[in-house]
Structure 1
């Protein structure tokens, strides 16, 4: 029987695994030498021609042995039987971890985190991840509840950066923000009616910036946990920006502190 240490190590490993489904996304992952594939899953009802033949050739070149499953079992693995096209791949994403593990070993330099509160549009989520990974963001707090799933549309919009992004997984955001506050991280809520500018605010230590839903903004439960509300100055009667654009401004405003 495996001991508790084996279980902990195994769980930590799978916290860093992202299951990708669909023939084109899986083929693109197989063709990317920078990605580490843990497993390739194929429904045994698939025909071997077309893109599936390309997938099998790419897997053979990489030394990945396909695992064949019944259609129902493959759907359980992909968690999207309607769109998985009979194929899925488990990809190791080294920068993924659970938020609670990150907070236990919170780095000493002031951390800049981005928390997502109800980002339901996959394209927006992908673009946010891309900007955060490129800019001055040390971790993206992504709750399973309320946000779009990390599916093919998110991966495409992120231009593949989702595999390298520092995603910090949690169940739901209010509890995650309370844990952040307990760890000494201040919470900044982005709001259109805020009087203080994002560009003038200088956090004194660790900080998490909260981005809200595309239509309704930051939820009341989340906003109640904020230590400060920040806004983006705008001209010419413009009331708001796309949430992905706002994420870019947050990510690169970190250079103002350098």
Structure 2
């Protein structure tokens, strides 16, 4: 049975919603007029003073719906009952979309980053910031395996996560297969690879896979990859931090143009 147009529109809307939790992160979002908020969630056992009062006032100024929940219900919304401090906020991130939807609208020769189990929130935030600043058309973010888009990621990204082009999927291998079937090159970074990142070109577009901080690119992803690329290293240095690697990828086209 085909999904209704109304259901698909609703699904697309909520793919663009990021739920932020914690009193200070939520306060920072509500104080930023450049960010679009959807709904404020509060636990019904919060004390109505101090920052909770301030959050309510800011939400009311924005004419946002405010919903009160049991503590257990709020934990299900935030997905982090230990750290949400009884507060969560739905933020609309206009550049978020599902990978299967995004493939039809990517520019010719698109350059994507794919995150293969990036578990350190600081690294993830810095990767998102670099990708948003550089020549990257989308960041494939699998909901399974990567660090959650929580306060540490948001802080490390300097708030860039709210406007970054995240392409969402459940499992990375499935998303990479879709990209490969669309003709894109799937590029795994490998220190021993013969071909350099800085000489790589593929007219149908490329996906550059960033592997786990300690394990690198997973075997499952290696089997899907169509290319392996290296970053030339000197002075016996074997590897770079994954966030630094992301920065090099993000600006590689500019480096090639200036060569």
TM-score range, shorter chain: over 0.9
The residue aligned with 1:173 is: 172
What's the C-alpha RMSD, in Å, of the aligned pairs? 1.3
Cα separation, 2, equivalents of 1:204 and 1:126: 29
1:98-109 mapped onto 2 (5 Å cutoff): 98-103=98-103, 105-109=104-108
2:75 touches 2:81 (CA, 8 Å); kept in 1?
yes
Question: Normalising by the residue count of structure 1, what TM-score does the alignment of the two structures yield?
Answer: 0.95
Cα separation, 2, equivalents of 1:98 and 1:202: 25
Cα separation, 2, equivalents of 1:21 and 1:161: 17
2:108 touches 2:203 (CA, 8 Å); kept in 1?
no
The residue aligned with 2:7 is: 7
Moved more, 196-205 or 80-89: 196-205
4+ aligned runs moved over 4 Å, structure 1: none
1:141-152 mapped onto 2 (5 Å cutoff): 141-152=140-151
1:48-197 mapped onto 2 (5 Å cutoff): 48-103=48-103, 105-197=104-196
1:202 touches 1:257 (CA, 8 Å); kept in 2?
no
Task: Give the SS at the match of 1:188.
Answer: strand
Cα separation, 1, equivalents of 2:136 and 2:159: 17
Cα separation, 1, equivalents of 2:18 and 2:120: 19
Deviations 1:140-164 (A, max 9, x none): 0011111001011000100000000
> What's the offset of the Cα at 1:109?
2.2
> What's the offset of the Cα at 1:108?
4.1
Cα separation, 1, equivalents of 2:213 and 2:150: 19
Cα separation, 1, equivalents of 2:199 and 2:179: 23
Cα separation, 1, equivalents of 2:215 and 2:106: 33
Cα separation, 1, equivalents of 2:237 and 2:255: 24
> What's the offset of the Cα at 1:65?
3.3
2:198 touches 2:256 (CA, 8 Å); kept in 1?
no
Cα separation, 1, equivalents of 2:105 and 2:39: 31
The residue aligned with 2:21 is: 21
The residue aligned with 2:31 is: 31
Question: Normalising by the residue count of structure 2, what TM-score does the alignment of the two structures yield?
Answer: 0.95
Which 5+ residue runs of structure 1 have no aligned equivalent?
none
> What's the offset of the Cα at 1:208?
0.4
Moved more, 174-183 or 105-114: 105-114
Q: How many residues align?
A: 255
